[in-house]
Chain A
């Protein structure tokens, strides 16, 4: 019979299926609207190019063009975490999907993991195109003497970053329009303190914050995984420039620690917020 019971998959398998299921509309959905390719590749290049010319106008050292390119590439992942993972929970609630996810017998992290995985597809296209333009159009030279370190930094940046995204998502699950505004608020201020367009070590320059305050700001900013990720990747790709915030191995260890911390915090926060949402009845409240 068609509705006969089937052998129930293990908990892990169930959640993996949910991850894959939720990633599917992301990948398929965007490909059904092919205009995304234009927006994801062309659009970010405009801002990146503007910052490249900004540095060119000031006769900045060549590596700064490279810093901008790496910052531009990593913007894709940060935007993805903010808008297509955290704020997406608000959208899912608004379009009526959140309650269907909530009554399903799977971990909420599986849903968020699916969103992340699906989102990474478009992000990676965007990041690669930015780097290609940097190399081909602006003549940026990348060298990779330590590829393993680069891969390690990138992978743990992603894990920590998406872990943080999951934590944000738990907040956004309960929020109404403030979710959208919070994502907006975390755009430019984070670009600033995380050093998307310049190395954060520059905060320590005497004409900016000075050694002590600059170190403090950099340390606080390092709680956002993209900060150390950007710094580490720049150190890997532009060796010998002496603009790194911390030694690479410390940055890698810190990113590993952040990965574990954010994943645990995300789990705790999701559980707590779900409970709170159920208590206050905000889990399914729409049109906010």
Chain B
């Protein structure tokens, strides 16, 4: 098959799987309820941090530290939802709808299918992040201005960051091939590790030394720091990362993304292979 044809076929798979993902996410209710649902969770999770912050600081929200937390937490939604979404697809398709085996044996590339399903998650999460940031600007005085955003850096960082996240998601999908219904625990663990070590709700320098060293090998740490720098919010709060220049951070993000992508692809294909050899492609484990 010619390369062009292969690419076309894979894009077609991604398109219909993204459509399927959108249907699964949204068609359980009417558009209004879906909108409320899409907004309620991110706003509530943001407000938890806001309240926690206000209790301790006595109502001060104009500090760089607050901006740091607000922006990082908003963009962290990508991490949570992409990782959660991609492994949930395996669990849901395999054990609930029991369609995984049919998709798996079709000529469509399962890998492309997974990416397609992830894309729908990314689109919905982008909407949630937009709402969260708008809420911050309107009600909490977050000084985000479209004119002061370093757009080339922001777009570049978003593309590399999301590629990195999709890679992580695919690695988790590879693991989920082999685990039972609670495979949700795997992605939550990884998301939890990133939440703790990547400078999301507190600066990395608060962590013990060994944990700072660990956080510096994770691409998400650099991704979030670069997003903050691109938006010009919370910059310099994290003393552990402040000394690393934007260029160096970008290089580290790119290199670590490439390395993680290679590892993630290997895990995905290994998981896929092992699942086939162990007969787990159509496993159901309800209890």
Contacts and interface: CB of A to CB of B under 8 A. Distances in A.
Interface of A: 25-26, 29-30, 33, 35-36, 38-40, 42-43, 46-47, 49-51, 53-60, 64, 91, 94-95, 97, 176-178, 181, 184-185, 187-189, 191-192, 196-198, 202-203, 205-208, 287-288
A94 B96 contact: yes
**For the complex, would chain A's binding face be called helix, strand, loop or mixed by DSSP majority?**
helix
**Range, interface on chain B:** 35 or more
Contacts of A97: 286
A30 B44 contact: no
Given A43-B188, A202-B55, A205-B55, A50 B195 contact: yes
Nearest to A195: B51
A197 B193 CA distance: 19
A197 B50 CA distance: 11
Given A58-B56, A64-B56, A188-B48, A39 B40 contact: no
Contact of A53 (B185, B206, B286): B206
B41 interface: yes
Nearest to A177: B28
A53 B192 contact: no
A189 B41 contact: yes
Contact of B201 (A50, A59, A181, A206): A50
Interface in B45-70: 45, 47-49, 51-59, 65, 69
B206 A56 contact: yes
A54 B28 contact: no
Contacts of A33: 180, 182, 285
Interface in B8-49: 24, 28-29, 37, 40-42, 44-45, 47-49
A50 B202 contact: yes
**For the complex, would chain B's binding face be called helix, strand, loop or mixed by DSSP majority?**
helix
A58 B53 contact: yes
Point out which of B44, B47, B65, B284 has the most chain A C-beta atoms below 10 A from its C-beta: B44
Given A46-B195, A47-B195, A287-B97, A25 B200 contact: no
Contacts of A205: 54-55, 59
Contacts of A176: 28
A33 B41 CA distance: 31
A187 B206 CA distance: 28
22 contacts: A35-B182, A35-B185, A43-B188, A46-B189, A46-B192, A47-B196, A53-B196, A53-B206, A53-B207, A55-B56, A60-B55, A95-B284, A178-B28, A185-B37, A185-B41, A187-B41, A188-B42, A189-B40, A191-B48, A203-B51, A207-B58, A208-B59
B189 A51 contact: no
B182 A189 contact: no
Interface in B62-113: 65, 69, 96-97
